[in-house]
Structure 1
Amino acid sequence: MSLQQTIAKKVTYSGIGLHSGQPVRLSFVPAPVDSGIRFRRTDISESDTVAAQIRYVTNTMRATTLENGAVMVTTVEHVLSAIRALEIDNIIVELDSVEPPVGDGSAAVFVGLLDEAGIVTQDAERRYLPVTKSVGVYDTPNDRFIVALPYDGFRVTFLAEKEDHPLLRLQAMDIEITTENYRNSIMRARTIGFTEELEQLRKMGLGRGGTLENAVVYSPTEVLSELRYPDEVVRHKILDVIGDLALAGPLKAHIIARKSGHQLNTELARRLVESV
């Protein structure tokens, strides 16, 4: 039997948002049994929250956005990835802006913050979302898919491809998602960007906090950032999958994906919840 977990104390970190470029203060706060993961916008209300549940997803363009009434938070996937990988069930994420700080573009800063807070067990059993049959989402015209299969654990197999880029024709990884494996192989992988998209992103009001240090930036012919791993792209895609699927709750499943992003990831989370 696995017991639910929360953190031992409140911890805080300040930085800038990846897309907004605005200063933001994030705090992780302990939460009681069965309360789940919740986001609170302290600049809007001290009481209203939005739960990290798939029914509150309103946008998946370039990031995953949650909204409940006046409370909207975006770019939640890296925070959720760290929380889920460290097997934390109940926590409040306080923000005084619309998105978490980008940190170094990975989940490492959030893992470090949660380590600082300490993790404590609670007197209640963790409830996993049962995956008893294959559940998938397919985008056949674009050759993209993501599938969940029954599995006694949590495993991700991902194929990242960008056929028109000489450095990104195929990156593949298969990994059992344990806290140790996440720390060693996934949490430091940074978000990805392309120079040909930057101008369009800025026109859309996105990517304003991105740099060569907190993103892996590719030109049409080369990588402009110093890589942390030769296959950093696929590692970050797995980081995102973990965060997006956290919106379905704790899972035991084998996830197999090709070229999947936030839209397909969250649609799989939705179908998994609806399949129960």
Structure 2
Amino acid sequence: MQKQTTLETAVSYTGIGLHSGREVHAVLKPAPADTGIVFVRTDLPGQPMIHAKAENVTSTLRATTVEENGLRVFTIEHLMSAFHAHRIDNAFVELDSEEPPVADGASLVFFELMAKAGVRELEAERREVIIDKVYRIDDEATGRFVMVVPYDGFRVSFTSLNPHKLIGVQYEDFHIDEETYHKEIAPARTIAYEKEIAQLREMGLGLGGTLESVIVYNDDGWLNPLHFEDELVRHKILDVIGDLRLAGIIRGHVIAAASGHALNTQLAKKIAAAHLAK
């Protein structure tokens, strides 16, 4: 029997939101058993809570957004990915804005903050999401898909498809444990095509991105050094781990081709609904 976990102590980080460009102070705090991951908007009267659950996803435009009682937090996937990697069931995430800090543009900062805080085992039993059949979401128009099949552990196999000659097809396959995640996944940053940046900013997106937190490419090459030759697909793996954490802590093998937040969170909703029905 597995026991639920939470953080041992509180840890904090201050930075800029990737899309909002606003400064935000984040505090990660221990939480009791059966709390789940809960965002607390300390900037609003009464400090309302937003539960990081698949059913609360309301938008996947360039990031994953969860909303409850008309209040939202967005770009939560990197933080959720680190919670999944550490197998942390319960935590409060206090934010004085509607978006967590972008930090390093990956999840390394969050992963190491959680490691610094420590993980404490609770008395309550964990209700692990054990995949016992195939769950699959397809985008028939593009051929993109994401699925999860039974597996004794947690594994992600991802094929990234990018038409740009600099990137092309990238594939990685990892059995995810804390050590592998820390070394191979957590440092992989988000990515942007230089020609798209002005358009994104006109849409009010990417206002807090810099060459420290985003890998940028144009038709001639990369504007900043890569952490990995195939950093794009590793970041895609980071994202799918975070998006699927909205369904719980998963035991299974995730297989994806060019999937993004929309397909990932649809799969999370499908898994969560089936798990709750058991």
TM-score (structure 2 length as normaliser): 0.96
Residues of 1 paired with 2:128 and 2:146: CA distance? 20
Matches within 5 A, 1:211-222: 211-222=210-221
Q: Which amino acid aligns with 1:62?
A: R
Matches within 5 A, 1:31-70: 31-70=31-70
**Higher mean C-alpha deviation, range 25-34 or range 39-48:** 39-48
Change (3 A) 1:29 1:128: same
Gaps of 5+ in 1: none
Q: State the match for 1:240 in structure 2.
A: 239
Q: State the match for 2:172 in structure 1.
A: 173
Q: State the match for 1:89 in structure 2.
A: 89
Residues of 1 paired with 2:102 and 2:191: CA distance? 13
Residues of 2 paired with 1:186 and 1:91: CA distance? 22
1:184 aligns with 2:191: no
Q: State the match for 2:114 in structure 1.
A: 114
Root-mean-square deviation (CA, aligned residues, Å) is 1.1
Q: State the match for 1:100 in structure 2.
A: 100
Change (3 A) 1:79 1:212: same
Deviation at 1:45, TM superposition (A): 3.8
Q: State the match for 1:160 in structure 2.
A: 160
CA deviations on 1:139-195 (whole Å, 9 max, x unpaired) are 1221210011011111000001112x0111111000011111101110010011111
Gaps of 5+ in 2: none
Deviation at 1:274, TM superposition (A): 2.3
SS at match of 1:159: strand
TM-score (structure 1 length as normaliser): 0.97
Residues of 2 paired with 1:67 and 1:272: CA distance? 19
**Higher mean C-alpha deviation, range 144-153 or range 128-137:** 128-137
Q: State the match for 2:149 in structure 1.
A: 149
Residues of 2 paired with 1:204 and 1:224: CA distance? 23
Deviation at 1:47, TM superposition (A): 4.2
Q: State the match for 2:29 in structure 1.
A: 29
How many pairs were matched up?
275
Residues of 2 paired with 1:254 and 1:231: CA distance? 21
Residues of 1 paired with 2:65 and 2:35: CA distance? 20
CA deviations on 1:70-106 (whole Å, 9 max, x unpaired) are 4310000000000110111110001000100011101
SS at match of 1:170: strand
CA deviations on 1:95-152 (whole Å, 9 max, x unpaired) are 0001000111010111121122111111122111232211101112212100110111
Contact 1:216 1:223 in 2 (8 A): yes
SS at match of 1:161: strand
**Higher mean C-alpha deviation, range 107-116 or range 235-244:** 107-116
**Higher mean C-alpha deviation, range 40-49 or range 24-33:** 40-49
Deviation at 1:240, TM superposition (A): 0.2
Residues of 2 paired with 1:225 and 1:272: CA distance? 38
**Higher mean C-alpha deviation, range 90-99 or range 64-73:** 64-73
SS at match of 2:273: helix
SS at match of 1:103: coil
